[in-house]
Structures are given as C-alpha cells and as structure tokens.
Amino acid sequence: MKPTNAAIRVASFTVISIAITFFIQGILTRWLDVAEYGDITVALTLCSLLGTVITLGLNDFYLKLASEKNGCTKELRLRILKIHSLAFLVVFSIASIILHYCEMLNLTMFLGVAYSHGAFLFLNAVLQVNGNYNTLSFVQLIQPALRLIFLFGIFVVWEASVTSVASAYLIVSIIVLIISYSVFYSAKSSKVTVNSNRQLLKDSIPFSFAILLHLIYFQSDLLLLRIYMGPETVAYYNIAFLIVSSVYILPGIYYQKIMLPKLHRWFSSEGESDIKAFEQLRLKTLLIGIACSIAVVFGAYIFIPLVFGKDYSNSLVLVYCLAIAIPIRFLSCNYGALLMVKDNINIKVKCMGLTAILNIILNFAIVPMYGAIGAAVSTVISELALCFLYRKYSSDFMKFAFKIKKEVSSESVL
C-alpha cells in the first residue's frame, strides 16, 4: 500500500476514534461536575506518563530493529514483555502507596490504563513493521469504542462518579492488554536477537527518554494547573488541549506510523532518492498545518458549546492560543522523524530535554500569575523552540548522511 493511501486509511479510522473520544469527554463533562472531571483528567495524564515510562522505549527499539532486520526472535519479544510487566509492577506498587497516603486509593484502577497503554504501543509497532495498515487502522478504534460501551454499561447500573469511570477504563485496559500481548508475541520471527537484557535496555531507554520528555513538556501544564489553580481550571484547559492534540495526531500518523519504518529501511540501504523526496514534504506539511490551525480557530466557537456545553466556553480563548502551535508541530514531525533513524535518538533526547527544561521554567514563571493562558503561551513557545532544534540537528545530519553536501533550494528548505 502506498504511503499516501495508507495514511488516508489510518487517518480516517483515527478521525472516527477521535470523534468517539470527544463523545466520551462530552458525556463525562455533562455527567460529572467540573472538579471530578478535572481529577479524572489529571489521573489519565499521569497514567499516560507512567505508561510511557514502563515501556522503557522497548516498543520503538523493536520498531527500529525489526524494520532494519526483518523481525527478531520470539525469545527476544518474550523478554521485552517480561521487562514491561516487571516495570509496571514496580510503578503500580509505588503509585498505590502514594495514593493510599493521599487518600485517593480509588484512582489506582486508572493505573491499568498505564499498563495497557504500553501494551498497545507494542501492538502498533508490530503492525507498522509488517506494513499491515488495514489492521493498524482498525485497532485505533479498539480503546475508545470499548470505553464508550463499558461507560454506558456501568452508568446504567452505577451512578456516574470517578470510581465508576475508573472501573470502565480498567475493564477495557484488561481486554486491550490481552489482545496486544498476544499479537506482539506471535509476530513475525527472525534470527536477530539481543544477547542480554542489559544491552537491550541500554539500546531502548533513549527512545523512552525521548517520548517521556515530550510528554513532560506537553502535559506538565495540566499537573501544574491542578496545583496552582484547581481542578476546574484543569478541566477548561483539558478541553482546549484535547482539541488541539487531536489535530496533532494527523502528522503523527503519517510520520511516526507510516513513514518511520520506511525511513529505517531507507537509511539502512542508503535509499538517497527516497530520503530526498521525504524532505520535500515539508512545505506541504506546513501548509496543511496552517489550514488545520485556521479550521480549529473557527470551528471551536461552535464545537465546544455543542459537544461539551456552555459551561466550558472558557476553553475557547485557550484553543485560540494553542492553535498557533499546530503548524509548528506539523513541521516538527517532519524534522523529528529524521532524528529517529541511525544513532540520532540521543540527539533527539537532547532536543527534548532542553525543551522540557524550558517548558518547566516557563510554567513555574507564568502559570502562577496567568493561569491557563500562561500555560498555553508556554506550550507555544516550547513547540517553537523544539522545531528550531529539530531543524538544526536534522539538517546537520543530512549534510553528512551520504557524504554529499546538500545545496539548499527554495522548494525544500523553510
């Protein structure tokens, strides 16, 4: 399947997934009070962070290894799953003790989301390596569709509350975990392996740092807003964040799910013409990002009151601020994909680390004074800084990738 056709198919199913997610959020905002919805938002944000931590970058390392070497041994995949499970048990134990001390033990059920999130990443990696984009498209619907079904089922017999929502999410997490582990373990095998767990972790952890640092600067706003401003402000900000991050999924699909396995293969086989064609996608990517930003700005005025209710109209100004970052993120995805190949992951981690530090400093400086608006401004500045760093280091890499000095043309350089 051609990259464009695959991207359209995956994007179509992802749009449906996003629509279901918005419907779920609309239900939660209407059935729970603003403070309860804010607490659930914080819990799921933390689970997203933890889910990334416990994968230890093994999913991205598998994607790179299996793309370059056409698979790996079943024994190696089993070791990956064992490490992932052990990491979850450690995190679950620590988090449970903390939540018990804070008298928030009912939130431990959300930790299942962290476990299944990592497992789902392994499932995606297998489908990407195999180029099975039809199935990859379909699985994007699994979690939101099941969550919607079980939320309705539980709400019928149990009143809407943080605990009932957590119960529905836990059931779905167990189902997703079983499916994902089964598919990953049964994936295509080869004789390629990594001799020791120590070497395996050494190779994979840089990938984990890259994603974790991204989540820190991308979602730390929610945690700081909860500390400084309370759950109501978190709820308003989360609606804006949800809308903008849903648009971010589009370049993520194309560059991370469709193009990244191809980039690994091209660089391992020196497919210079393919890589140069990839670089020429930047202008189109930027223009699409600008169009999406304009659509979000004009569409949010109708969409937010319609889906979430008039109580969340305060989210509008936050959407307008965050929408500025959309074309920047689209461009970053192109530059950033080049820093996932060869041995560039350490450079990408460096870029993410600098951006995370900048974002945290900005948040502590302006969130206490300006609240959610300050958090939105901090995010936009961080996105701009990250794009600049990605551009610098990816350009440096390409100058020496095939020992050919690139001449900058007006068509491919922004």
DSSP for residue 368: H
Q: What is the pLDDT of residue 82?
A: 92
- Does residue 393 sit within a domain? yes
Instruction: Count CB neighbours of 167 within 10 A.
Output: 19
- What are 127's two structure tokens? 């489908």
- Does residue 409 sit within a domain? no
Q: Residue 400's pLDDT band (boundaries 50, 70, 90)? A: low
DSSP string, 138-162: HHTTHHHHHHHHHHHHHHHHS--SH
Full residue range of the structural domain in which residue 326 is found: 3-400
- Does residue 44 sit within a domain? yes
If one counts the domains in the chain, the total is 1
Provide the percentage of residues in the chain whose pLDDT is more than 90.
9
Q: Read off the pLDDT of each residue in 325-343 and give the average, rounded to a whole number.
A: 85
Q: Residue 330's pLDDT band (boundaries 50, 70, 90)? A: very high
- Does residue 406 sit within a domain? no
Q: Residue 292's pLDDT band (boundaries 50, 70, 90)? A: very high
At residue 16, the 3 state secondary structure works out as: helix
- Does residue 408 sit within a domain? no
CB-based contacts of 24: which residues, under 8 Å, 6+ apart?
A: 144, 147, 148, 151
Q: Read off the pLDDT of each residue in 80-90 and give the average, rounded to a whole number.
A: 90
- Does residue 412 sit within a domain? no
- Does residue 268 sit within a domain? yes
Q: What is the largest CA-CA distance in the chain?
A: 67
- Does residue 303 sit within a domain? yes
Q: What is the pLDDT of residue 412?
A: 45
pTM of the model: 0.72
Q: Residue 7's pLDDT band (boundaries 50, 70, 90)? A: low
Q: What is the pLDDT of residue 131?
A: 75
Closest C-alpha to 326, from 292, 376, 375, 285: 292
